[in-house]
Amino acid sequence: MKRSEFVKRIFALSLLTTTTGSLFARIIRSKEQTLIVYLSRTNNTKAIAQMIQKELGGDLLLLELAKPYPEDYKKTVDQVSNENETGYLPELPTKVYDIGRYNTIFIGYPTWDMQLPPPMKSFLTNHDLRNKTIVPFNTNAGYGLGTSVETIKKLSKSSKVLEPFKIEGGKERDGILFVMKGEKEKQAQIKIKKWLLELQLIK
């Protein structure tokens, strides 16, 4: 890597800091004006985020939590349900200070409680997403997107929200965790390509 390119990359990374001052969010690659931000507990949504990045490029950002959810599924379900009822927005250690440089922001999440997960509500609330193109993508246990896209539209103000991608992922309730491998992974790759073509984000 040339020195100038290295400096440019470090600069891009340094624009992402945590509120505690420690570096950095997990940016895998710094390129273009696309940000792919995702929340993932059992890595299905993460796999989809990585497939999108492979097709399109862009910066990949895992949404981390100041206080992670319990490992226990049932306890997590109860906590999420409570947060949804009270409108509690969990604290995120990460803020993307240079959000202005991105035109297109992919928002990836699992369906939780038939809603947008509270941490993603926090992310959308904490960032100025006016006049962006927002592209939702989702994995779920077979029950679909719930109210998540309506919530994204509400929280991203005047941004244009494109047609979401959704695919069946894990079923943690039944002990089925990561499924994006083998034939399922291939199907997902084909489905993502078709979706991005339809959105005219790739040619």
Where does this chain bind ligand FMN (CB under 6 A)? 40-46, 73, 76-77, 80, 110-114, 139-143, 169-172
Minimum CB distance to ligand FMN, residue 131 (Å): 28
Minimum CB distance to ligand FMN, residue 99 (Å): 23
Q: Which is nearer to ligand FMN, 66 or 141 (CB)?
A: 141
Residues 160 and 40: their CA atoms lie apart, in Å, by 24
Q: Which is nearer to ligand FMN, 17 or 50 (CB)?
A: 50
Q: Which is nearer to ligand FMN, 159 or 195 (CB)?
A: 195
Distance of CA 20 to the CA centre of its chain: 22
Q: By the 8 A CB rule, do 139 and 44 touch?
A: yes
Strand partners, 160: 133
Minimum CB distance to ligand FMN, residue 42 (Å): 3
- Closest chain position to ligand FMN (CB): 169
Output phi, psi for 77, to 5 deg: -55, -45
Minimum CB distance to ligand FMN, residue 127 (Å): 21
- Tell me if residue 59 falls in helix, strand or coil: strand
Distances (CA, A) of 2 to 6, 9, 111, 155: 6, 11, 42, 40
Minimum CB distance to ligand FMN, residue 158 (Å): 29
Q: Which is nearer to ligand FMN, 13 or 77 (CB)?
A: 77
Q: Which is nearer to ligand FMN, 56 or 180 (CB)?
A: 180
Residue whose C-alpha is closest to residue 102's, from 15, 189, 183, 191: 15
